[in-house]
A and B are shown apart, each in its own frame.
Chain A
Protein backbone atom coordinates (compact mmCIF):
# COMPACT_ATOMS: atom_id res chain seq x y z
CA UNK A 1 0.00 0.00 0.00
CA UNK A 2 1.09 3.56 -0.69
CA UNK A 3 1.65 5.93 2.23
CA UNK A 4 2.88 9.32 3.30
CA UNK A 5 6.49 9.69 4.42
CA UNK A 6 8.05 11.57 7.33
CA UNK A 7 11.21 12.93 5.71
CA UNK A 8 14.22 14.45 7.41
CA UNK A 9 15.34 17.77 5.98
CA UNK A 10 19.06 17.36 5.27
CA UNK A 11 19.85 20.69 3.65
CA UNK A 12 18.21 24.04 3.09
CA UNK A 13 19.46 26.94 0.99
CA UNK A 14 18.12 30.25 -0.24
CA UNK A 15 18.84 30.55 -3.95
CA UNK A 16 17.66 34.04 -4.87
CA UNK A 17 15.39 36.33 -2.93
CA UNK A 18 12.41 34.17 -2.10
CA UNK A 19 13.46 30.88 -3.69
CA UNK A 20 14.15 28.07 -1.20
CA UNK A 21 15.97 24.87 -2.07
CA UNK A 22 15.43 21.84 0.19
CA UNK A 23 16.87 18.34 0.22
CA UNK A 24 15.21 15.56 2.23
CA UNK A 25 15.81 11.90 2.91
CA UNK A 26 13.27 10.06 0.81
CA UNK A 27 12.53 6.31 0.69
CA UNK A 28 11.04 6.04 -2.81
CA UNK A 29 12.47 6.51 -6.27
CA UNK A 30 10.99 9.23 -8.40
CA UNK A 31 11.03 10.16 -12.06
CA UNK A 32 11.75 13.56 -13.61
CA UNK A 33 8.47 15.46 -13.93
CA UNK A 34 6.81 13.92 -10.90
CA UNK A 35 5.89 16.05 -7.90
CA UNK A 36 5.53 15.77 -4.14
CA UNK A 37 2.62 17.01 -2.03
CA UNK A 38 3.95 18.57 1.16
CA UNK A 39 2.30 19.37 4.48
CA UNK A 40 3.35 22.90 5.32
CA UNK A 41 2.61 22.81 9.04
CA UNK A 42 0.09 24.06 11.59
CA UNK A 43 -2.51 26.45 10.27
CA UNK A 44 -2.19 25.32 6.67
CA UNK A 45 -4.83 22.76 5.78
CA UNK A 46 -4.03 21.63 2.26
CA UNK A 47 -0.73 20.20 1.14
CA UNK A 48 1.23 22.14 -1.48
CA UNK A 49 2.38 20.47 -4.70
CA UNK A 50 6.05 21.04 -5.50
CA UNK A 51 7.94 19.65 -8.48
CA UNK A 52 10.93 17.41 -7.90
CA UNK A 53 14.09 19.27 -8.86
CA UNK A 54 16.50 16.37 -8.46
CA UNK A 55 16.57 12.96 -6.79
CA UNK A 56 18.76 10.02 -5.94
CA UNK A 57 18.26 6.58 -4.45
CA UNK A 58 17.41 7.81 -0.96
CA UNK A 59 17.07 11.57 -1.26
CA UNK A 60 15.03 14.13 -3.07
CA UNK A 61 15.48 17.83 -3.74
CA UNK A 62 12.74 20.38 -4.31
CA UNK A 63 12.79 24.10 -4.89
CA UNK A 64 9.99 26.58 -4.41
CA UNK A 65 9.30 30.29 -4.34
CA UNK A 66 7.73 31.70 -1.19
CA UNK A 67 4.41 33.04 -2.43
CA UNK A 68 1.47 32.47 -0.08
CA UNK A 69 0.64 31.23 3.39
CA UNK A 70 1.65 27.62 2.69
CA UNK A 71 5.08 28.22 1.18
CA UNK A 72 5.81 30.88 3.82
CA UNK A 73 5.20 28.29 6.52
CA UNK A 74 7.14 25.60 4.68
CA UNK A 75 10.14 27.93 4.37
CA UNK A 76 10.38 28.04 8.17
CA UNK A 77 11.50 24.41 8.46
CA UNK A 78 15.18 23.89 9.17
CA UNK A 79 17.76 21.16 8.69
CA UNK A 80 16.97 18.24 10.99
CA UNK A 81 13.21 18.88 10.98
CA UNK A 82 10.83 16.31 9.52
CA UNK A 83 8.40 17.02 6.68
CA UNK A 84 5.23 15.04 5.96
CA UNK A 85 5.41 14.28 2.23
CA UNK A 86 3.02 12.43 -0.04
CA UNK A 87 4.54 11.15 -3.25
CA UNK A 88 6.11 10.89 -5.69
CA UNK A 89 2.90 11.70 -7.56
CA UNK A 90 1.87 12.16 -11.15
CA UNK A 91 3.44 11.05 -14.40
CA UNK A 92 7.03 11.85 -15.27
CA UNK A 93 8.26 13.25 -18.58
CA UNK A 94 8.32 10.87 -21.57
CA UNK A 95 12.05 10.57 -21.93
CA UNK A 96 11.63 7.79 -24.48
CA UNK A 97 10.25 10.37 -26.93
CA UNK A 98 13.33 12.59 -26.92
CA UNK A 99 14.34 11.54 -30.43
CA UNK A 100 17.79 10.99 -31.97
CA UNK A 101 18.99 14.55 -32.20
CA UNK A 102 19.10 17.32 -29.58
CA UNK A 103 16.47 17.42 -26.81
CA UNK A 104 15.63 20.89 -25.57
CA UNK A 105 14.32 21.89 -22.14
CA UNK A 106 12.67 25.29 -21.81
CA UNK A 107 11.71 26.91 -18.55
CA UNK A 108 10.40 30.23 -17.41
CA UNK A 109 10.98 31.50 -13.85
CA UNK A 110 10.11 28.92 -11.23
CA UNK A 111 9.19 26.56 -14.09
CA UNK A 112 12.86 25.68 -14.52
CA UNK A 113 13.02 23.50 -11.38
CA UNK A 114 11.66 20.18 -12.73
CA UNK A 115 13.86 20.54 -15.80
CA UNK A 116 17.14 20.01 -13.95
CA UNK A 117 16.44 16.38 -13.07
CA UNK A 118 14.97 15.92 -16.55
CA UNK A 119 18.06 17.30 -18.28
CA UNK A 120 20.21 14.75 -16.43
CA UNK A 121 18.04 11.96 -17.79
CA UNK A 122 17.89 13.25 -21.37
CA UNK A 123 21.62 12.83 -21.91
CA UNK A 124 24.67 14.96 -22.72
CA UNK A 125 23.31 16.44 -25.97
CA UNK A 126 20.52 18.24 -24.11
CA UNK A 127 20.31 22.02 -24.34
CA UNK A 128 18.41 24.36 -22.03
CA UNK A 129 16.70 27.69 -22.59
CA UNK A 130 15.95 29.38 -19.28
CA UNK A 131 14.05 32.62 -18.93
CA UNK A 132 13.92 35.08 -16.06
CA UNK A 133 12.50 38.57 -15.57
CA UNK A 134 15.86 40.13 -14.75
CA UNK A 135 19.53 39.33 -13.95
CA UNK A 136 19.06 39.21 -10.16
CA UNK A 137 16.56 36.37 -10.54
CA UNK A 138 18.80 34.13 -12.65
CA UNK A 139 19.38 30.89 -10.73
CA UNK A 140 20.74 27.39 -11.33
CA UNK A 141 22.67 28.46 -14.42
CA UNK A 142 25.80 26.57 -13.37
CA UNK A 143 23.82 23.48 -12.44
CA UNK A 144 22.20 23.37 -15.87
CA UNK A 145 25.63 23.94 -17.43
CA UNK A 146 26.72 20.81 -15.60
CA UNK A 147 23.99 18.67 -17.14
CA UNK A 148 23.49 20.28 -20.57
CA UNK A 149 25.65 20.75 -23.66
CA UNK A 150 24.55 24.39 -23.88
CA UNK A 151 22.54 26.73 -21.70
CA UNK A 152 20.80 29.78 -23.20
CA UNK A 153 19.60 32.42 -20.77
CA UNK A 154 17.01 35.04 -21.62
CA UNK A 155 15.90 37.96 -19.47
CA UNK A 156 12.83 40.07 -20.16
CA UNK A 157 14.77 43.29 -19.64
CA UNK A 158 17.99 42.18 -21.31
CA UNK A 159 20.05 42.63 -18.12
CA UNK A 160 21.62 39.19 -18.67
CA UNK A 161 21.84 36.87 -21.69
CA UNK A 162 19.44 37.32 -24.59
CA UNK A 163 16.96 40.18 -24.27
CA UNK A 164 13.43 38.92 -24.64
CA UNK A 165 11.42 35.76 -24.09
CA UNK A 166 12.54 32.14 -24.13
CA UNK A 167 10.32 31.67 -27.17
CA UNK A 168 12.47 34.17 -29.14
CA UNK A 169 15.54 32.09 -28.32
CA UNK A 170 13.63 28.92 -29.15
CA UNK A 171 12.77 30.16 -32.65
CA UNK A 172 16.42 31.06 -33.33
CA UNK A 173 17.66 27.75 -31.99
CA UNK A 174 15.18 25.73 -34.04
CA UNK A 175 16.51 27.30 -37.25
CA UNK A 176 19.55 24.96 -37.10
CA UNK A 177 17.19 22.04 -37.62
CA UNK A 178 18.75 19.63 -35.10
CA UNK A 179 16.16 19.73 -32.30
CA UNK A 180 14.23 16.48 -31.94
CA UNK A 181 12.13 17.19 -28.82
CA UNK A 182 11.03 20.01 -26.54
CA UNK A 183 10.12 19.81 -22.84
CA UNK A 184 8.70 22.94 -21.25
CA UNK A 185 7.56 24.27 -17.89
CA UNK A 186 6.59 27.83 -17.10
CA UNK A 187 3.75 30.34 -17.11
CA UNK A 188 0.79 29.39 -19.27
CA UNK A 189 1.37 32.19 -21.80
CA UNK A 190 4.88 30.79 -22.38
CA UNK A 191 3.59 27.23 -22.63
CA UNK A 192 0.93 28.20 -25.15
CA UNK A 193 3.59 29.91 -27.28
CA UNK A 194 6.00 26.95 -27.04
CA UNK A 195 3.19 24.54 -27.96
CA UNK A 196 2.38 26.54 -31.08
CA UNK A 197 6.00 26.82 -32.21
CA UNK A 198 6.67 23.09 -31.63
CA UNK A 199 3.54 22.01 -33.43
CA UNK A 200 4.21 24.36 -36.38
CA UNK A 201 7.68 22.79 -36.68
CA UNK A 202 6.28 19.30 -36.09
CA UNK A 203 8.60 18.60 -33.14
CA UNK A 204 7.53 16.40 -30.20
CA UNK A 205 6.69 18.66 -27.27
CA UNK A 206 5.76 17.87 -23.70
CA UNK A 207 4.50 20.40 -21.14
CA UNK A 208 4.47 20.25 -17.36
CA UNK A 209 1.36 22.04 -16.13
CA UNK A 210 0.38 23.61 -12.86
CA UNK A 211 -3.08 24.29 -11.44
CA UNK A 212 -4.29 25.04 -7.93
CA UNK A 213 -4.50 21.59 -6.36
CA UNK A 214 -6.39 19.78 -3.62
CA UNK A 215 -5.64 16.12 -2.91
CA UNK A 216 -2.83 15.53 -5.43
CA UNK A 217 -3.98 11.98 -6.16
CA UNK A 218 -7.07 12.41 -8.35
CA UNK A 219 -9.93 12.18 -5.86
CA UNK A 220 -11.16 15.78 -5.65
CA UNK A 221 -11.08 16.84 -9.30
CA UNK A 222 -10.15 20.46 -8.72
CA UNK A 223 -6.78 20.84 -10.50
CA UNK A 224 -8.09 20.48 -14.01
CA UNK A 225 -6.77 21.68 -17.36
CA UNK A 226 -8.52 21.52 -20.68
CA UNK A 227 -7.60 18.65 -22.96
CA UNK A 228 -9.41 18.08 -26.25
CA UNK A 229 -12.39 20.02 -24.95
CA UNK A 230 -12.68 18.13 -21.64
CA UNK A 231 -11.30 18.89 -18.20
CA UNK A 232 -8.65 16.41 -17.07
CA UNK A 233 -6.87 16.27 -13.73
CA UNK A 234 -3.38 17.76 -13.70
CA UNK A 235 -2.32 15.68 -10.67
CA UNK A 236 -3.47 12.35 -12.04
CA UNK A 237 -3.45 12.65 -15.83
CA UNK A 238 -0.38 14.94 -15.76
CA UNK A 239 1.32 17.06 -14.67
CA UNK A 240 3.18 16.22 -17.89
CA UNK A 241 1.13 16.27 -21.08
CA UNK A 242 1.87 15.88 -24.75
CA UNK A 243 1.40 19.48 -26.01
CA UNK A 244 -1.15 18.25 -28.55
CA UNK A 245 -3.40 17.13 -25.69
CA UNK A 246 -3.56 20.56 -24.07
CA UNK A 247 -5.97 23.37 -25.04
CA UNK A 248 -4.99 26.89 -24.04
CA UNK A 249 -8.10 28.49 -25.53
CA UNK A 250 -9.47 29.99 -22.33
Chain B
Protein backbone atom coordinates (compact mmCIF):
# COMPACT_ATOMS: atom_id res chain seq x y z
CA UNK B 1 0.00 0.00 0.00
CA UNK B 2 1.50 3.32 -1.11
CA UNK B 3 1.24 6.20 1.37
CA UNK B 4 -0.42 9.07 -0.48
CA UNK B 5 -1.28 11.24 2.50
CA UNK B 6 0.18 14.73 2.54
CA UNK B 7 0.03 17.55 5.05
CA UNK B 8 -0.79 21.13 4.09
CA UNK B 9 -0.21 23.37 7.12
CA UNK B 10 -1.52 20.74 9.52
CA UNK B 11 -4.46 19.70 7.35
CA UNK B 12 -4.11 16.09 6.25
CA UNK B 13 -5.14 15.34 2.67
CA UNK B 14 -5.67 11.64 1.94
CA UNK B 15 -3.93 12.14 -1.40
CA UNK B 16 -2.25 15.09 -3.12
CA UNK B 17 -4.96 15.63 -5.77
CA UNK B 18 -6.95 18.85 -5.41
CA UNK B 19 -9.31 20.54 -7.86
CA UNK B 20 -8.20 23.94 -9.11
CA UNK B 21 -10.56 26.76 -8.26
CA UNK B 22 -12.89 27.76 -11.08
CA UNK B 23 -12.63 24.50 -12.98
CA UNK B 24 -14.90 22.42 -10.78
CA UNK B 25 -17.72 24.77 -9.74
CA UNK B 26 -18.54 23.57 -6.22
CA UNK B 27 -18.46 19.87 -6.98
CA UNK B 28 -22.15 19.16 -7.59
CA UNK B 29 -21.89 18.44 -11.31
CA UNK B 30 -18.76 16.31 -11.01
CA UNK B 31 -20.29 14.35 -8.12
CA UNK B 32 -22.48 12.74 -10.79
CA UNK B 33 -19.32 11.35 -12.44
CA UNK B 34 -17.40 10.05 -9.39
CA UNK B 35 -17.39 10.04 -5.62
CA UNK B 36 -15.77 13.26 -4.40
CA UNK B 37 -14.21 11.24 -1.54
CA UNK B 38 -11.61 10.23 -4.13
CA UNK B 39 -10.09 13.70 -3.90
CA UNK B 40 -7.53 15.01 -1.44
CA UNK B 41 -9.47 18.26 -1.34
CA UNK B 42 -12.01 20.25 -3.31
CA UNK B 43 -10.99 23.84 -3.95
CA UNK B 44 -14.22 25.63 -4.78
CA UNK B 45 -14.98 28.39 -7.25
CA UNK B 46 -13.85 31.86 -6.15
CA UNK B 47 -16.12 33.42 -3.55
CA UNK B 48 -16.88 37.12 -3.27
CA UNK B 49 -18.91 38.80 -0.53
CA UNK B 50 -21.76 39.72 -2.85
CA UNK B 51 -22.88 37.77 -5.92
CA UNK B 52 -20.91 38.64 -9.06
CA UNK B 53 -22.34 38.35 -12.53
CA UNK B 54 -19.02 37.95 -14.35
CA UNK B 55 -17.77 39.13 -17.72
CA UNK B 56 -19.51 39.32 -21.06
CA UNK B 57 -19.19 36.23 -23.33
CA UNK B 58 -17.36 34.85 -25.22
CA UNK B 59 -15.36 33.91 -22.15
CA UNK B 60 -13.25 31.10 -23.57
CA UNK B 61 -11.03 30.44 -26.56
CA UNK B 62 -8.80 27.53 -27.42
CA UNK B 63 -5.11 28.26 -28.05
CA UNK B 64 -2.27 25.86 -28.93
CA UNK B 65 -2.31 23.28 -26.09
CA UNK B 66 -4.23 25.63 -23.86
CA UNK B 67 -7.27 27.76 -23.23
CA UNK B 68 -7.78 31.43 -22.56
CA UNK B 69 -10.62 32.30 -20.22
CA UNK B 70 -12.16 35.39 -18.82
CA UNK B 71 -15.05 34.43 -16.57
CA UNK B 72 -14.63 37.35 -14.19
CA UNK B 73 -15.33 35.51 -10.91
CA UNK B 74 -19.03 34.89 -11.54
CA UNK B 75 -20.42 33.39 -8.33
CA UNK B 76 -23.49 33.48 -6.13
CA UNK B 77 -21.77 35.21 -3.20
CA UNK B 78 -20.65 34.18 0.28
CA UNK B 79 -24.07 33.75 1.90
CA UNK B 80 -25.21 31.32 -0.79
CA UNK B 81 -21.94 29.41 -0.55
CA UNK B 82 -22.28 29.03 3.21
CA UNK B 83 -25.93 28.06 3.10
CA UNK B 84 -25.89 25.57 0.22
CA UNK B 85 -22.41 24.61 -0.92
CA UNK B 86 -20.64 23.86 2.38
CA UNK B 87 -23.39 21.47 3.59
CA UNK B 88 -23.29 19.74 0.20
CA UNK B 89 -19.51 19.26 0.25
CA UNK B 90 -19.52 18.18 3.90
CA UNK B 91 -21.38 15.02 2.86
CA UNK B 92 -18.09 13.85 1.35
CA UNK B 93 -15.00 12.68 3.18
CA UNK B 94 -12.70 15.21 1.58
CA UNK B 95 -11.27 18.58 2.63
CA UNK B 96 -12.78 21.88 1.54
CA UNK B 97 -10.60 24.75 0.38
CA UNK B 98 -12.46 28.04 0.02
CA UNK B 99 -10.96 30.28 -2.65
CA UNK B 100 -11.72 33.87 -1.66
CA UNK B 101 -11.47 36.73 -4.14
CA UNK B 102 -12.66 39.96 -2.58
CA UNK B 103 -12.19 43.30 -4.37
CA UNK B 104 -10.58 44.91 -1.30
CA UNK B 105 -8.47 43.81 1.67
CA UNK B 106 -11.46 44.47 3.93
CA UNK B 107 -13.78 42.32 1.81
CA UNK B 108 -11.32 39.41 1.97
CA UNK B 109 -11.03 39.82 5.76
CA UNK B 110 -14.80 39.80 6.10
CA UNK B 111 -15.18 36.64 3.98
CA UNK B 112 -12.42 34.83 5.91
CA UNK B 113 -13.96 35.83 9.22
CA UNK B 114 -17.44 34.66 8.27
CA UNK B 115 -16.17 31.34 6.89
CA UNK B 116 -14.55 30.67 10.26
CA UNK B 117 -13.75 26.99 10.54
CA UNK B 118 -16.60 25.83 8.32
CA UNK B 119 -13.97 25.07 5.68
CA UNK B 120 -10.60 23.33 6.15
CA UNK B 121 -8.37 25.82 4.39
CA UNK B 122 -8.73 29.24 2.82
CA UNK B 123 -7.01 30.09 -0.44
CA UNK B 124 -6.57 33.83 -0.91
CA UNK B 125 -6.76 34.69 -4.59
CA UNK B 126 -4.44 37.63 -5.19
CA UNK B 127 -3.91 36.63 -8.78
CA UNK B 128 -7.09 36.70 -10.88
CA UNK B 129 -6.18 38.44 -14.16
CA UNK B 130 -9.79 39.01 -15.24
CA UNK B 131 -11.20 41.56 -12.80
CA UNK B 132 -10.64 45.30 -12.53
CA UNK B 133 -10.36 45.53 -8.76
CA UNK B 134 -8.43 43.23 -6.46
CA UNK B 135 -7.18 40.07 -8.11
CA UNK B 136 -3.81 40.33 -9.75
CA UNK B 137 -3.41 43.95 -8.59
CA UNK B 138 -2.78 42.56 -5.07
CA UNK B 139 -0.49 39.77 -6.13
CA UNK B 140 2.00 41.59 -8.32
CA UNK B 141 3.25 43.95 -5.61
CA UNK B 142 5.22 42.41 -2.73
CA UNK B 143 4.25 45.14 -0.25
CA UNK B 144 0.53 44.72 -0.93
CA UNK B 145 0.88 40.92 -0.96
CA UNK B 146 2.44 41.00 2.50
CA UNK B 147 -0.13 43.46 3.82
CA UNK B 148 -3.20 41.60 2.49
CA UNK B 149 -1.82 38.25 3.67
CA UNK B 150 -1.22 39.64 7.16
CA UNK B 151 -4.64 41.24 7.43
CA UNK B 152 -6.56 38.23 6.08
CA UNK B 153 -4.53 35.84 8.24
CA UNK B 154 -5.65 37.77 11.34
CA UNK B 155 -9.23 36.90 10.35
CA UNK B 156 -8.64 33.24 9.48
CA UNK B 157 -9.64 30.44 11.83
CA UNK B 158 -8.04 27.89 9.48
CA UNK B 159 -4.68 27.78 7.66
CA UNK B 160 -4.26 30.31 4.86
CA UNK B 161 -2.95 29.49 1.39
CA UNK B 162 -1.95 32.42 -0.82
CA UNK B 163 -2.44 31.79 -4.55
CA UNK B 164 0.31 33.43 -6.55
CA UNK B 165 0.26 35.00 -9.96
CA UNK B 166 2.80 34.10 -12.65
CA UNK B 167 2.39 37.59 -14.11
CA UNK B 168 5.40 38.97 -12.23
CA UNK B 169 9.11 39.43 -12.88
CA UNK B 170 10.20 37.44 -9.85
CA UNK B 171 7.71 35.10 -8.20
CA UNK B 172 10.16 34.36 -5.39
CA UNK B 173 9.85 37.93 -4.20
CA UNK B 174 6.04 37.67 -3.99
CA UNK B 175 6.25 34.22 -2.35
CA UNK B 176 8.60 35.64 0.28
CA UNK B 177 6.24 38.56 0.90
CA UNK B 178 3.31 36.17 1.42
CA UNK B 179 5.41 34.12 3.83
CA UNK B 180 6.37 37.25 5.77
CA UNK B 181 2.70 38.19 5.89
CA UNK B 182 1.98 34.89 7.60
CA UNK B 183 0.83 32.58 4.81
CA UNK B 184 0.68 28.91 5.88
CA UNK B 185 1.00 27.57 2.34
CA UNK B 186 1.36 28.80 -1.23
CA UNK B 187 -0.43 27.72 -4.37
CA UNK B 188 0.80 28.47 -7.86
CA UNK B 189 0.29 29.30 -10.62
CA UNK B 190 -2.87 31.18 -11.45
CA UNK B 191 -3.34 31.77 -15.18
CA UNK B 192 -0.91 33.70 -17.37
CA UNK B 193 -2.37 36.84 -18.89
CA UNK B 194 -2.81 36.30 -22.59
CA UNK B 195 -4.57 37.45 -25.73
CA UNK B 196 -5.73 35.96 -29.00
CA UNK B 197 -6.89 37.86 -32.09
CA UNK B 198 -9.07 36.54 -34.91
CA UNK B 199 -7.19 37.72 -37.98
CA UNK B 200 -10.31 37.70 -40.14
CA UNK B 201 -12.51 39.84 -37.93
CA UNK B 202 -9.52 41.64 -36.33
CA UNK B 203 -11.29 41.19 -33.02
CA UNK B 204 -9.92 39.56 -29.88
CA UNK B 205 -11.53 36.14 -29.41
CA UNK B 206 -12.58 37.03 -25.85
CA UNK B 207 -15.09 39.80 -25.17
CA UNK B 208 -12.82 40.98 -22.34
CA UNK B 209 -10.00 41.34 -24.93
CA UNK B 210 -7.52 39.53 -22.67
CA UNK B 211 -7.82 36.45 -20.49
CA UNK B 212 -5.94 33.91 -18.42
CA UNK B 213 -4.02 31.15 -20.20
CA UNK B 214 -4.10 27.64 -18.73
CA UNK B 215 -3.59 24.07 -19.84
CA UNK B 216 -0.52 22.10 -20.99
CA UNK B 217 0.88 25.24 -22.67
CA UNK B 218 1.67 26.79 -19.27
CA UNK B 219 3.05 23.71 -17.54
CA UNK B 220 6.78 24.37 -18.01
CA UNK B 221 6.31 27.90 -16.64
CA UNK B 222 4.40 26.55 -13.66
CA UNK B 223 6.93 23.80 -12.93
CA UNK B 224 9.77 26.31 -13.09
CA UNK B 225 7.97 28.62 -10.69
CA UNK B 226 7.13 25.79 -8.26
CA UNK B 227 10.82 24.87 -8.27
CA UNK B 228 11.95 28.49 -7.78
CA UNK B 229 9.53 29.08 -4.91
CA UNK B 230 10.40 25.79 -3.22
CA UNK B 231 14.04 26.88 -3.23
CA UNK B 232 13.36 29.93 -1.05
CA UNK B 233 10.65 28.74 1.36
CA UNK B 234 9.75 25.73 3.46
CA UNK B 235 6.04 26.49 3.21
CA UNK B 236 4.06 23.69 1.57
CA UNK B 237 3.36 24.37 -2.10
CA UNK B 238 0.31 23.36 -4.08
CA UNK B 239 1.51 23.18 -7.67
CA UNK B 240 -0.75 23.64 -10.66
CA UNK B 241 -0.71 24.58 -14.31
CA UNK B 242 -1.59 22.21 -17.14
CA UNK B 243 -1.66 18.92 -15.23
CA UNK B 244 -3.21 16.34 -17.55
CA UNK B 245 -1.59 13.08 -16.41
CA UNK B 246 -0.14 11.19 -13.47
CA UNK B 247 3.36 11.97 -14.70
CA UNK B 248 2.53 15.67 -14.64
CA UNK B 249 1.64 15.29 -10.94
CA UNK B 250 5.01 13.65 -10.31
CA UNK B 251 6.75 16.43 -12.20
CA UNK B 252 5.25 19.14 -9.97
CA UNK B 253 6.03 17.17 -6.83
CA UNK B 254 9.63 16.61 -7.92
CA UNK B 255 9.87 20.38 -8.42
CA UNK B 256 8.83 20.91 -4.82
CA UNK B 257 5.03 20.74 -4.59
CA UNK B 258 3.49 18.87 -1.65
CA UNK B 259 0.13 18.64 -3.41
CA UNK B 260 -1.19 19.55 -6.84
CA UNK B 261 -4.33 21.01 -8.34
CA UNK B 262 -5.93 19.81 -11.57
CA UNK B 263 -7.74 22.53 -13.53
CA UNK B 264 -8.17 22.68 -17.28
CA UNK B 265 -8.22 18.86 -17.50
CA UNK B 266 -11.60 18.88 -15.70
CA UNK B 267 -13.07 20.83 -18.62
CA UNK B 268 -11.83 18.23 -21.07
CA UNK B 269 -12.89 15.16 -19.10
CA UNK B 270 -15.20 15.20 -16.08
CA UNK B 271 -13.31 12.26 -14.59
CA UNK B 272 -9.87 13.85 -15.08
CA UNK B 273 -8.95 14.02 -11.39
CA UNK B 274 -9.59 10.34 -10.70
CA UNK B 275 -7.99 9.27 -13.99
CA UNK B 276 -4.90 11.32 -13.14
CA UNK B 277 -4.84 9.93 -9.61
CA UNK B 278 -4.84 6.37 -10.94
CA UNK B 279 -2.02 7.18 -13.33
CA UNK B 280 -0.04 8.80 -10.53
CA UNK B 281 -0.41 5.72 -8.34
CA UNK B 282 0.77 3.61 -11.29
CA UNK B 283 3.79 5.86 -11.67
CA UNK B 284 4.67 5.43 -7.97
CA UNK B 285 4.09 1.71 -8.20
CA UNK B 286 6.25 1.25 -11.29
CA UNK B 287 9.04 3.20 -9.65
CA UNK B 288 8.82 1.24 -6.40
CA UNK B 289 7.93 4.33 -4.38
CA UNK B 290 5.91 3.45 -1.30
CA UNK B 291 5.58 6.93 0.15
CA UNK B 292 4.67 9.98 -1.90
CA UNK B 293 7.02 12.09 0.24
CA UNK B 294 9.96 10.38 -1.45
CA UNK B 295 9.42 12.45 -4.59
CA UNK B 296 8.61 15.86 -3.07
CA UNK B 297 11.42 18.23 -4.05
CA UNK B 298 13.47 15.26 -5.22
CA UNK B 299 14.47 16.79 -8.55
CA UNK B 300 18.17 16.18 -9.24
CA UNK B 301 19.25 19.60 -10.40
CA UNK B 302 22.27 19.79 -12.72
CB within 8 Å of B: which residues of A? 1-4, 39, 44-47, 69-70, 86, 211-215, 217-225, 230-231, 236, 250
Contact = CB atoms under 8 A, between A and B. Distances in A.
B61 A212 contact: yes
Interface string B268-291: 111100000000000000000000
Contacts of A230: 53
Interface residues of B, number: 34
Interface of B: 22-25, 29-30, 32-34, 45, 53-54, 56-62, 65-67, 69, 71, 74, 215-216, 264, 266-271
Contact of A211 (B25, B30, B57, B69): B57
Contacts of A213: 60
A45 B268 contact: yes
B62 A69 contact: yes
Judged by DSSP, the binding face of A is loop
Contact of A45 (B53, B67, B69): B67
A215 B66 CA distance: 14
Given A3-B33, A219-B23, A45 B59 contact: no
A39 B22 CA distance: 22
A231 B65 contact: no
B270 A214 contact: no
Nearest to B217: A45
Contact of B58 (A3, A44, A46, A212): A212
A3 B60 contact: no
A45 B64 CA distance: 8
Across the A-B interface, the 8 shortest Cβ-Cβ residue pairs: A222-B60, A222-B59, A215-B267, A212-B58, A219-B25, A214-B267, A218-B29, A217-B29
B263 to A, nearest CB: 10
Contacts of B74: 221, 224, 231
Contact of B268 (A46, A69, A211, A224): A46
Nearest to B215: A45
